[in-house]
Amino acid sequence: MALPSGRHSIQEHLCQLKHFNFFLPLGYYLEMCFSALFVFLGILFCAPCRCLECPFGCECFAVIHTVKCVSKDLLTAPQNIPGFAKTVIMTGNNIHQIGPSSFTELENITNIILSNNSRLLRITQMASHTFSSLINLRFLDLSGNQLALIHPEALSIPGSPLQELNLSQALYNFTALTDLTTALRWGGLAGLLRLDLSGNKLALLPPGMFSHLPNLQQLFLANNALVAVYSGTFSGMNHLEVLDLTHNAFRTFRTDALQELEKLGDIKILLGNNPYTCSCEIHDFVTWLNKSRAKVDANAVRCASPVTLTDTRLRGLSVQDIGCVVPVLTEVANLTLQTSYVFLGLVLGFVGMVFLFVLYLNRKGMKKWINEMRDACRDVLEGYHYRYEIDSDPRLGHISADSRRAQRQLGLSLSQQLPSDTSVIHTKTQVKPVTTSLPVNL
């Protein structure tokens, strides 16, 4: 016999057949199934209802503890968010600035999504202690904005509950990166586990930028314009597990950059999809890829140039493949240098011995030359000494002047008395007349 359709018809039919004992369990189970079905439908159609306490323009879902304010052209964060809410989604609005007054009395909030406020305006400013009242906040998404001004204490929350921070495509310029570095330092984010800075066109990372995030486990820096890693960039990150450097502008990694990456230990490092130039300069990087403890996505690390090596995996390349001269081992280089020093010492020692031998052979001539030089120096010094004594004694100076005057007068008188063919020769002690006569021809 076919069962009548409808819930009441089934119940009536079961009542009519209640004298059959084997139908009683079946009726009981059917009753329970229909009750559960009605409860499920009631929840399904009544869950997204707009409660009286739900903010205007938002949708409140009590069952999943969520408030959605998506693409509602909101200029500020909505107030009077229900207390049951744990997740607040405010995307696609026109919110320009957020501060402490934007989120009040929301102690139960654990997740806030403020991404892609780009219809007219984007979030450009974060004031001091913006999220300080959200003492249970675990996840914060500010991606897709244009943060230009970030207060040093914008991310400061008592107790450091924040674990995930998404700032992908959120920084406006390099000044915002400087502000963010200060905010990471002063924000007290010791509990942060995941940080996403991808898509911000970052060209460099300030040294020690992440040193105040000691428990950070995942760092995403993909889709930027990074060209180098400097010493100290990842200092203090002792618990890092994943580092994403894909889709940047790396052409190679220098020795200091490789040392910085090696300090991170056996973590997962993503280095693929970068324009690597496979020349001799990349030899150290290839060696590091072959020996590093880190888990590198080696299959994605490929040459972008030259043309002959395009799309060739870096791992496994030989020095001949990249056109580099076979490097001399460090031990061999040191041995060659030591040998050169020894040879130079021997040559200098031999030259010194020859010089000493020549001096020994010419010892008599050297002795005579030294004595002559000594006598000459003594004569010169005695002359200077005699002149000094005459000049320093005023009496000797007067006598010397009188004697010279007398000699001049005597010379004049003699020249007047002598004939014209006589000349006078002056000496220190006397004047001698000399007579000259012409020869007589006989």
DSSP 187: T
Give the predicted TM-score (pTM) of the model.
Answer: 0.64
Among the listed residues 152, 243, 221, the one whose alpha carbon sits nearest the alpha carbon of residue 189: 152
DSSP characters for 267-290?
-EEE--S--EE-SGGGHHHHHHHH
Report residue 97 as tokens. Answer: 């600035």
Domain match, 93 and 134 both:
yes
Among the listed residues 47, 87, 43, the one whose alpha carbon sits nearest the alpha carbon of residue 69: 87
Domain match, 166 and 288 both:
no
Domain match, 206 and 186 both:
no
Cα–Cα distances (Å) from 286 to 70, 178, 243, 251, 281, in that order, read 48, 33, 19, 12, 10
Q: Is residue 20 domain-resident?
A: no
Q: Is residue 68 domain-resident?
A: yes
Domain match, 66 and 161 both:
yes
The residue type at 271: L
CATH number at residue 274: 3.80.10.10
- How many structural domains compose the chain? 2
Q: Is residue 202 domain-resident?
A: yes
- The kind and range of the H/E element at 111 are strand 111-113
Domain match, 184 and 204 both:
no
Q: Is residue 416 domain-resident?
A: no
Domain match, 75 and 148 both:
yes
Q: 150: which residues sit within 8 A by CB, 6+ positions away? A: 125, 126, 176, 179, 180, 182, 183
Domain match, 83 and 166 both:
yes
DSSP 68: E
Which residues constitute the domain of residue 65? 57-191
pLDDT at residue 190 in the model: 92
Report residue 109 as tokens. Answer: 């909030």
Q: Is residue 225 domain-resident?
A: yes
Domain match, 298 and 186 both:
no
Torsion of CA 341, 343, 349, 352, to 10 degrees: -100
Taking only the tens place, the pLDDT of each residue in 151-161 is: 999 999 999 89
Domain match, 174 and 206 both:
no
Select from 153, 174, 191 the last residue of a domain: 191
CB 145 within 8 A of CB 173: no
Select from 286, 310, 326 the last residue of a domain: 326
pLDDT at residue 384 in the model: 75
Q: Is residue 347 domain-resident?
A: no
Per-residue tens of pLDDT for the chain, all 442 residues: 444 444 444 444 444 434 444 444 555 445 555 555 644 544 444 444 444 579 888 999 999 999 999 988 888 888 889 989 999 999 988 888 898 888 888 889 999 999 988 655 678 899 999 999 999 999 999 999 999 999 999 999 999 899 999 999 999 888 899 999 999 999 999 999 999 999 999 999 999 999 999 999 999 999 999 999 999 999 999 999 999 999 999 999 999 999 999 999 999 999 999 999 999 899 999 999 988 889 999 999 999 999 999 999 999 888 788 877 655 555 566 777 788 888 889 999 999 999 888 888 888 888 888 888 888 888 888 877 777 666 665 655 555 555 556 656 655 555 555 455 444 444 444 444 444 444 444 3
Q: Is residue 434 domain-resident?
A: no
Taking the C-alpha atoms of residue 22 and residue 167, their distance in angstroms, rounded to an integer, is 65
Select from 167, 191, 215 the last residue of a domain: 191
